[in-house]
Structure 1
């Protein structure tokens, strides 16, 4: 069983497991139609957010294929949960994972989602020893696509009219990164000795 060494501090954030105390913070952005626009759920009621939070609390470690690690992101020094990140263990045998992220739009445009998602990649590659991590998004979700590009993930595929989503056929973009690409990127941002 793998559990990250919480809390994980970045320059501006703290990543940690979700707790019951996060309900109001999570609902503040899970209830927004613009947040749910490209997700597989509609804007959530408080009860739906509570049910989702209960599932997230139960997803604190990875062991078997299909397990999900749910991670809350909050500002360093205190403040509300502003990000909801996931790492899916897709195949232990093939060392495959998938990343996901949802952020409060009130905190967008500051690089916080990139900072948090980079740590989820680090957990996958350095903590779990994954070989490949991918992320998918609706092609109309340019914010998510740009985030994955900023992370150094490369566009592997555009699946044309892959899903019937929100009443229309939509294209899906698949981004991915290999462990060797992660190591090369991590080495290139290390400060000189």
Structure 2
């Protein structure tokens, strides 16, 4: 099967793109805290580019134009436990086509096969059914519910906590 997307590590040339993406209310409809200080976000994005603890990639269509369609990131959750946290965002016009799942699969591959993660976690708003589907397609297990963790849409809502272990990932891949 031909790859439909590629991941390219964020570079200094991508700082404005990622900054705008991270500040876009329309791209994070289920989040409770969208940053508003553009210079602070730009500084953070720039600092993370060369870090060991935060890896961020632009999701691009595998086409001559290499159209950017979103981002996927993975960062240390608890370093001492070899635990990483996965997150992603996709432009609305590219949702529902499997691109997010493919990008997250590539991020999991890096985490488990290259960085030797023991565990990868992800969290999402209980109303974010699209993200729930992505996480479950990836083989993550819902391990818990943080009750009323997020103040969203003028109400407290639950946040779901998902995880996958290295042996689960590697067992599925036959590695």
Preserved CA contact (<8 Å) 1:96 1:130: yes
Assess, with a 3 A threshold, how the Cα gap between structure 1 residues 115 and 57 changes in structure 2: closer, same or farther. Answer: farther
Residue in structure 2 matched with residue 103 of structure 1 by the alignment: 90
Does 2:31 match 1:39?
A: yes
Aligned-residue offset at 1:35: 1.9
In the alignment, is the contact (CA less than 8 A) between 1:162 and 1:169 conserved in 2? yes
Does residue 125 of the first structure (1) align with residue 112 of the second (2)? yes
- TM-score normalized by the length of structure 2: 0.84
Q: 1:112 aligns with which of 81, 94, 99?
A: 99
- The aligned residue for residue 4 of structure 1 is none
Structure 1 residues 103-126: Cα deviation after superposition (integer angstroms, max 9, x where no partner) = 111111111110000111111111
- 1:56·1:70 contact (CA, 8 Å) conserved in 2? no
SS at match of 2:48: coil
Unaligned runs of 5+ in 1: 1-9
The reply to whether residue 177 of structure 1 matches residue 169 of structure 2 is no
Q: Unpaired runs of 5+ in structure 2?
A: none
CA deviation profile, 1:144-192 (whole Å, cap 9, x unmatched):
11110111111111222123345321101011100011011112xx9xx
Instruction: Give the RMSD, CA atoms, in angstroms.
Output: 2.6
Q: Number of aligned pairs?
A: 173
Runs of 4+ more than 6 Å apart: none
SS at match of 1:109: coil
Moved more, 25-34 or 161-170: 25-34
TM-aligned CA distance change 1:162 to 1:42, over 3 Å: closer
1:26/1:82 contact within 8 Å kept: no
Distance 1:90 1:28, change over 3 A: closer
Query: In the alignment, does 2:62 pair up with 1:73?
Result: no
TM-score, structure 1 normalization: 0.77
State the partner residue of 1:186.
173
SS of residue in 1 equivalent to 2:103: helix
* Cα distance between partner residues in 2 of 1:16 and 1:51: 23
Aligned-pair distance for 1:62? Answer: 4.8
Distance (whole Å) between structure 1 residues aligned to residue 58 and residue 145 of structure 2: 29
